[in-house]
Structure 1
Amino acid sequence: MKTMRMLILALTGVLAACATTEAPGPSVELKPETAWVAANEGWAEEAEAVYAGATSYVLEAAAGLPPKGWAVVLDLDETVINNVAYQIAREELGEGYTPESWYEWTQEEAATLVPGVASFLEAVNDAGGHVAFVTNRSDKEQLATENNLAALGLKRGEDFRVLMTRARPDGVSAKDARYDLVPPLLAVQGYPGVEIIAYLGDNKGDKPASPGDWAFFCIDQGAMYGDPCAAVPGPGR
């Protein structure tokens, strides 16, 4: 775990330096999807544009709803927080995802913010909405996840009110049952009758399976993971 920590911290430093200097890149040729997220300004610009569109929609949709009577639900990984440093580290090692290496990464609390998300969450909260995160991160990773979010300026009770993880190994990846729990959970916290007006994610499963009176906004993560919601992921264009 110490070796993994040192490698991830070093790679995170490289990514940060790339924003302002000509720092050397990874020692291997990255997969196109990883390279697109790690070094292509188009990824950041697209994410910011999606969040700007989501902000406009949410503020208009919420205009006729009572304050604290509506909510938005977001996935976490590659939607709110960016884990490309983990992917680079795995490719540097010539290896892919494993539950063990992912757990070590989450404990580093080193994910960064996806561009545009902070402004979106601020707009939702200022307009009187609730923010809920529904993620397939493990329940064993919840504490580190909340610490990571707090270090990025996203704090429970201020920036978001709900964060639901997935039980491992027995919990299912489909999120519908957890989506259904968001309004009742807010109700027992003192906010009855909350309506979910938007979902945001990077995979097709980051919204309910059945259609409803809500909108879905897709963050293009370049097909790094899962079943991407982008019709044609960034590096494929």
Structure 2
Amino acid sequence: MRNLLLVSVALLGACSTVDTAPPAAPTTSAVTTSVDLKPGTAWVAAGEGWADEAIAVYDEAKAYVLENAVTRKDNTWAVVLDLDETVMNNVEYQIRRESIGESYTSESWYDWTQEKSATLVPGAEDFLEAVNAAGGHVAFVTNRSDTEQLATEENLADLGLKRGEDFRILLTRARPDGASEKDARYDLVGPLLAAQGYPGVEIVAYLGDNNGDKPVNPGNWVFFCIDQGGMYGDPCAATPGPDGE
């Protein structure tokens, strides 16, 4: 049984170079490059082992929230998810940066978000459908900039995830002065749902790929970790990438 707080799956090692694109699952973009990639990036780009692990985490999260839903009335509970590398897969951006020997910059990231080319992380769509069907709410809390919110919602809509149907809240980070820590925005989820006509909603689960994708203080919720291969930030996976345990 996987640990609910940090989920790791034994995986086959991924080569550091991706030469050809393998057949891709419907929610996984196939990437073709001859660039020498970092092991974690190559693992996500190849799709197979990474996709299997992401689906396994989402399946465990779904089982947990559906078990909780049995004892709760509709519209009284919610889940909160990060977006990047949790719901939206941005490995193509990372490949582009590594191909020119560069890392993340806010300027290149802005350009990427405006392309609206992110794909779905495998398992995410099925999980969100299950939450909504069981009477829960979905909120996204992301460190994407407020100037990127419109393109983000359009990218999500292109992926079949629409505000009001698949999620109710999307909270971005104000730039340039907004804090990257998300706790202040997590505190807004309940009041915003109340303002929409759903008072007293309890958060039962958080899902993310970084340690900051959950509140600092423990609560009556469970955190589920998506392994993004250590591409960004402070990964929640104990050992990010194909050799994680």
* TM value normalised by structure 2: 0.87
Structure 1, unpaired ranges of 5+: 1-13
C-alpha RMSD over aligned residues: 1.8
Q: Could you tell me which residue of structure 1 aligns to residue 202 of structure 2?
A: 195
Report how far residue 24 of structure 1 moved: 8.7
Which of the numbers 174, 180, 202 marks the counterpart of 2:187? Answer: 180
Where does 1:92-171 land on structure 2 (aligned, <5 Å)? 92-171=99-178
**Separation in structure 1 between the aligned mates of residue 194 and residue 176 of structure 2, nearest angstrom:** 29
Q: Could you tell me which residue of structure 2 aligns to residue 7 of structure 1?
A: none
**Separation in structure 1 between the aligned mates of residue 35 and residue 98 of structure 2, nearest angstrom:** 7
Greater relative CO (CA pairs within 8 A, separation 6+): 2
Structure 2, unpaired ranges of 5+: 1-17, 25-29
Report how far residue 96 of structure 1 moved: 1.1
Report how far residue 15 of structure 1 moved: 10
* TM value normalised by structure 1: 0.90
Query: Contact 2:203–2:221 at 8 Å: present in 1 too?
Result: yes
Q: SS where residue 110 of structure 2 aligns? A: helix
Deviant stretches of 4+, over 3 Å: 14-18
Bigger fraction of residues in helix: 1
Q: SS where residue 97 of structure 1 aligns? A: coil
Deviations 1:210-233 (A, max 9, x none): 000000000000100000001111
Query: Contact 1:15–1:38 at 8 Å: present in 2 too?
Result: no
Q: Which amino acid aligns with 1:194?
A: V
Query: Contact 2:21–2:32 at 8 Å: present in 1 too?
Result: no
Report how far residue 68 of structure 1 moved: 0.4
Q: Could you tell me which residue of structure 1 aligns to residue 77 of structure 2?
A: 70
Report how far residue 142 of structure 1 moved: 0.1
**Separation in structure 2 between the aligned mates of residue 149 and residue 181 of structure 1, nearest angstrom:** 22
Q: SS where residue 38 of structure 1 aligns? A: helix
Identity between Structure 1 and Structure 2 (%)? 74
Report how far residue 94 of structure 1 moved: 1.6
Q: Call closer, same or farther: CA 1:179–1:31 in 2, change over 3 Å.
A: same
